[in-house]
Structure 1
C-alpha cells in the first residue's frame, strides 16, 4: 500500500510500505480520509516520537471501511463504515485500529468528514468534561477557538449548558466562533484575554481553561481562573517551561493539569472512546454538534496540508484523502 513516511526529521515522503495485518483485537480499515493534527507536525519535526509499539507513520485518526477483522473481534463486521482513534499510521491507504477505539460513522455525517471527529471529540470530552468536570452554568475559556479542537469544544460546551469564551487571531475566526455559539470572542492580537475574561464574568474568571499554548500563557491563564478553576494544558505551542505562581494558585484553590491523549494506555483510550460514543455521538446525530472541515488534500500532498496547518489560517479540520 501507499503511505506517508518520515524518512528523516522534517520530511514527509509517499512510499510503498507493507500492508497491515489484523492481530487479536484489531481491525484493518481501508482509509477514506485521515485527520491532520498538530501532533503529526511535531512528529514530523522529530519532537513527538510515537509511543512504544505504535506505527512509525503519522496520523492519529481516520475514517473508512473495515476490510479485515482480527481474532476475538465481534463488535464489528467487514464492510462497516467507521472512524477510529489510532496510535499512528493514519496517513495511508490502510491502517490498523484497536477494535475498542473504533466508532460508527454518525448518522448525517459523510464517511470522509467523519475522519475529523475522533481526535477532537476524544480530546475535548476527556479533558473538558472527564478531567476538568465542566458543569452547566460554568464558564469555559478556549484558546485557539477556531482550531479543530476549539470548534468541537465550543459546540460541546454549549450543548452542556456552559458559557464559552474563545480567543482567536482574526475577525473571520472570531465571527466563525460566534456563529458556532461562543458567547465572547477575544482577539488575542489586540486584546488582553485576562482583562476580557474578567470583564465578561464580572470578575469571577473562567471555571475551566483549555489551553494549547503552554508556558507563554501560564501566568495569565492562572490570573484568568475562577475560584476552584481548572487549567488544562494540552499543547506547548508557546513553550514548555514557564513560571507558576503557587501563591495565586493556592489563593484560588485552583488546579493546573497537563494531559496528552496519544500516550495513554489502550484501556484508558477505550474508556474515552466509549464515553464519546455515549455522550457525543447522539449530539452529532441530533445536529447539535458537527465536524468542521476546512480543507482536504490528496495523500501525496501531505506536506501541503502540514504547511496549511502551520500557517494557522485554517478554521476546523484539515483532511488527507488517499
Structure 2
C-alpha cells in the first residue's frame, strides 16, 4: 500500500512517500480502507519527536482516519499507534466510531480530535458558565473554529477571538465571535481587556504558548481559568507561580485528549455523539482548510507549521 513514513526526526522534509505491506487486523482490531486522513498540529511535533508521547522510528504519522470497514460500514477512527498516513490502517475496535449519514468525512475528522478538544476544554477544564467571557486564541484554526461556535452555543456572554490576519479574524466573526483582535498586539493583556468592555476575561483557551500565555494569564479576572492544550509557538511560557494564582484567584490547567479515555464512563464517546448531533442540526460546522494528495504530506505539514492555515486539513489517500 502507499503510505508516508518518517525514518529520521525533523521537519516536513522527513515525510517520505513509500510502499509498505498492508496492515493486518489482529484480535479486537479493525481494518479500515482509508478515504480521508485528518491532520493535526500535533502531527508536526510527532515528526520531530517533540510531542508529549515520544515517537519511535520508523513511523507512519497520523492519528485519525475516516473510511470503511471490510463489510462496508462508514467509520471514523482514532489510531492509538499512529499509522494514519496510508491507504489502510488498523486500530482497536474501541476507538472506531460509526458515521451517521448526515456527517461527511470533513466534519467527522474535524470533530474527532479538534472538536472533542474544544468541548472538553470548555466543559471540564474551564467549566464555562452562562454569560461568561471566553477568549479563543488561534480562532481560525482547527480547534479554534469549533471552540468559537461551541462557546456561543453553550451560553458564553462574549466570545473574543484572536488571529493574525484580517481574513482569519473575519472568519472568526462569521462563526459567531463577538469581537476579533490581532493576536500580534503589542500588549495582548490590555487588548483582551479592552475587547471585553474594560473587564478582565473569565476564560482563555490557549494553544500558542510563550508570551501569549503569559499575557493571557495576566488578563484573567478573579476566578478566571486558562485551558492550555498546545504550544504552536514552540516557546515555553514563564513558570506559573502558585502565589500569583492564589493572589488573583485564577486557575491554569492543561489538557491532553488522550487522558479523557481514562475517565470513568464514556466521556469521549458521549462528547463525540453530541458534536455529531450539533453538526447535523447546523449548530456548528467544520471549516475546510485544504485537501492534499497523500504524497504531498510534506506540503501539508509546511502549511500547518506556517500558521497560515484555517480549519481542518485533510490528506486524500486515493490520489
Structure 2 length-normalised TM: 0.89
Aligned pairs for 1:215-230 (under 5 A) are 215-230=210-225
- CA separation in 1, counterparts of 2:55 and 2:261? 12
- CA separation in 2, counterparts of 1:280 and 1:265? 16
Equivalent pair of 1:167/1:193 in contact (CA under 8 Å): no
* Alpha carbons of structure 1 residues 273 and 56: separation in structure 2 relative to 1, 3 Å: farther
| Structure 2 gap ranges (5+) | none
Equivalent pair of 1:165/1:182 in contact (CA under 8 Å): yes
1:198 maps to: 193
SS in 2 for 1:156: helix
- CA separation in 2, counterparts of 1:126 and 1:52? 25
* Alpha carbons of structure 1 residues 104 and 159: separation in structure 2 relative to 1, 3 Å: farther
2:90 maps to: 96
1:286 maps to: 281
* Alpha carbons of structure 1 residues 173 and 214: separation in structure 2 relative to 1, 3 Å: same
Cα deviation for residue 295 of structure 1 reads 0.5
Structure 1 length-normalised TM: 0.88
SS in 1 for 2:31: strand
Equivalent pair of 2:162/2:181 in contact (CA under 8 Å): yes
1:271 and 2:266 matched: yes
2:204 maps to: 209
Aligned pairs for 1:101-120 (under 5 A) are 101-120=95-114
- CA separation in 2, counterparts of 1:150 and 1:128? 12
1:83 and 2:76 matched: yes
Query: Which residue among 50, 65, 69 is the counterpart of 2:68?
Result: 65
Aligned pairs for 1:123-202 (under 5 A) are 123-162=117-156, 163-190=158-185, 192-202=187-197
Instruction: State how many pairs are aligned.
Output: 311
- Deviates most, 154-163 or 199-208: 199-208
* Alpha carbons of structure 1 residues 270 and 18: separation in structure 2 relative to 1, 3 Å: farther
Equivalent pair of 2:76/2:97 in contact (CA under 8 Å): yes
| Structure 1 gap ranges (5+) | 68-77
- Deviates most, 5-14 or 248-257: 248-257
SS in 2 for 1:280: helix
* Alpha carbons of structure 1 residues 26 and 321: separation in structure 2 relative to 1, 3 Å: same
Cα deviation for residue 243 of structure 1 reads 3.3
* Alpha carbons of structure 1 residues 198 and 82: separation in structure 2 relative to 1, 3 Å: same
Equivalent pair of 2:107/2:285 in contact (CA under 8 Å): no
Cα deviation for residue 50 of structure 1 reads 4.8
Q: What are the superposed Cα offsets for residues 23-48 of structure 1, whole Å, 9 maximum, x if unpaired? A: 33322211111111111111112212
Equivalent pair of 2:189/2:218 in contact (CA under 8 Å): yes
Q: What are the superposed Cα offsets for residues 125-154 of structure 1, whole Å, 9 maximum, x if unpaired? A: 222212221122111111100001100111
- Deviates most, 243-252 or 156-165: 243-252
